[in-house]
Amino acid sequence: MSWEQSTFSFSPRSRGCYLVTEEVLKNLPQIKSYKVGMVNLFLQHTSAALTLNENWDPDVRTDMTTAVNRIVPEDAEYIHTDEGSDDMPGHVKSSCKFMSQYISKP
């Protein structure tokens, strides 16, 4: 059994839901050499998150963004606002989602 560890950064983005599959594959080309395995993606940033969803219909990403913004509104009366009005909602959204995802390669 072998394993590898790599570190890379996603390109900066504004708020929203994004498809990152190609960026992951570009930064982890060694994935193609494994027939079976598992990838653990971990985000170190406290106001970002990873989710798994379909990518056939781009409306899913739009609807996910809309739903999450309804659940965690930016204009709520947060106390922690030193880093801007969007900072605390980002922390809450990240806590409700996942900072780590395990993805199997069958």
Q: Which domains does the chain have, with CATH numbers?
A: 21-105 (2.60.120.460)
d(CA 106, CA 98): 22
**Element containing residue 102 per DSSP (H, E):** strand 100-105
Which positions ≥6 away from 83 have C-beta within 8 Å?
A: none
Say whether pTM exceeds 0.85: no
Question: What is the share, in percent, of the chain residues with pLDDT greater than 90?
Answer: 32
Cα–Cα nearest to 28, from 49, 1, 4: 4
Question: What is the share, in percent, of the chain residues with pLDDT greater than 70?
Answer: 97
* pLDDT tens for each residue of 23-52: 999 999 998 888 898 999 998 887 788 888
> How far, in Å, are 33, 45, 69 from residue 77 at the CA level?
50, 23, 15
Amino acid 106: pLDDT = 66
